[in-house]
A and B are shown apart, each in its own frame.
Chain A
Amino acid sequence: MFSTLFGQNEAQGPTGSSSLGFGPGKPPPPIPQNQVSMAGQMPPQLVDEGPALRKSGAMSGPFYLLRELPVGNELTGNTNLITHYNLEHAYNKFCGKKVKEKLSNFLPELPGMIDCPGTQDGSSLRSLIDKPPVCGNSFSPLTGASLTGFRLHTGPLPEQYRLMHIQPPKKKSKHKHKHHRPQDPLPQETPSDSDPKKKKKKRDDDPDRKKKKKDKKKKKNRHSPDHPGLTGSQPSSNSLR
């Protein structure tokens, strides 16, 4: 009875089972191949053929309710996937050193206030995805007639628009770059005048300034108490006149 309930494939059961009074059971009926292949798929008419499919799925193998085992994969979680995909260098670069938080550290040459959230000034990339701009049109240069629309009034910008040019103070780098980019000037200046290096050079090369500096140094040295010529040159308060 035990054998008829669970079924056995082998003609003879194990020795232990025979001692307990269990005999070899009947082998299960051969399963048609159509039903075996369908057990692995998900047909759309599952509701009607449910019991039949379940039976075939249950009997698809030597053990009841045991489906086919998944195909073994050589790559498992047991292996270090970072070394497997040669990402050690990337791991050391990003996780070994401290990565700076701000966007301006990643893009130091980019002008403007880029560390502020994009939602504040409407420059977020998310809005670009949600509302994509009109694409597909060709870019044609502006003709003389269309350029007349860009004739501007003279003078500085109104105050409400001036904040766009303000940049956060940049830390002075120790290494001086060979090619110098003109910095963002104040609204009154023009690009040709903004070259602080040239201004600094002019100051240093001025001979009058050098002379003045030397004179100042001499005066300081004369008035200092450690100067050797002080007691001889200056009249002492105790001398009689």
Chain B
Amino acid sequence: MAEKFDNLEEHLEKFIENIRQLGIIVSDFQPSSQAVLNQKLNFMISGLQDIDKCQKQLHDINVPLEVFEYIDQGRNPQLYTKECLERALARNEQVKGKIDTMT
């Protein structure tokens, strides 16, 4: 299971690096950079193809929508996992207390 995530992560990193280099070329464009720019654009398309192929392996993965809210706010998504665990433990203790008082 971790392999398919590693595969997607690798493709995404290469794609982002390619886009970053594209931005550098475009920021101060020279006529001699046209061929490199064309190459980078085609790399971008092939990168999108590779990422699209990865979706077949990950069709059964579900991501909670609350994680997207954390990312949109610029917060670490691991905080969501932390809060879920803390809430689960707090609720577990609450129910245990109720059971102990009833019995």
Q: Do A and B bind each other?
A: yes
Chain A residues in contact with chain B, CB under 8 A?
76-78, 80-82, 87, 90-91, 94-95, 99-103, 105-106, 109-111, 114-119, 124-126, 129, 139-142, 147, 150-157, 162, 164-165, 181, 184-185, 187-191
Question: Helix, strand, loop or mixed for chain A's interface?
Answer: loop
B45 and A139 contact, CB distance less than 8 A: yes
Chain B residues in contact with chain A, CB under 8 A?
13, 16-17, 20-21, 23-31, 34, 37-38, 41-42, 45-46, 48-49, 52, 65, 68-69, 71-79, 81-82, 85-86, 88-89, 91-92, 94-96, 98-100
> Contacts A184-B24, A190-B28 hold; do A82 and B72 have CB atoms under 8 A apart?
no
Instruction: Pick 27 A–B contacts, CB within 8 A, sort by A.
Output: A77-B98, A81-B88, A82-B85, A87-B85, A94-B81, A94-B82, A95-B82, A99-B76, A101-B75, A103-B76, A109-B13, A111-B20, A117-B74, A125-B72, A141-B45, A141-B46, A150-B37, A151-B34, A152-B26, A155-B28, A156-B27, A157-B27, A162-B27, A181-B17, A189-B28, A190-B30, A191-B25
The smallest beta-carbon distance between A116 and chain B, in angstroms, is 6
Q: Which of B46, B52, B72, B98 contacts A117 (CB 8 A)?
A: B72
> Which residue from chain B places its CB closest to the CB of A164 in the assembled complex?
B23
> Which residue from chain B places its CB closest to the CB of A185 in the assembled complex?
B24
- In the docked arrangement, what's the CA distance between A151 and B27, Å? 14
- In the docked arrangement, what's the CA distance between A82 and B73, Å? 29
The smallest beta-carbon distance between B24 and chain A, in angstroms, is 6
- In the docked arrangement, what's the CA distance between A187 and B30, Å? 12
B76 and A101 contact, CB distance less than 8 A: yes
> Contacts A87-B85, A94-B81, A150-B37 hold; do A142 and B27 have CB atoms under 8 A apart?
no
**Cβ of A99: which chain B residues have Cβ within 8 Å of it?**
76, 78-79, 82
A114 and B85 contact, CB distance less than 8 A: no
B24 and A150 contact, CB distance less than 8 A: no
A118 and B21 contact, CB distance less than 8 A: no
B37 and A154 contact, CB distance less than 8 A: no
**Cβ of A82: which chain B residues have Cβ within 8 Å of it?**
85, 88-89, 92
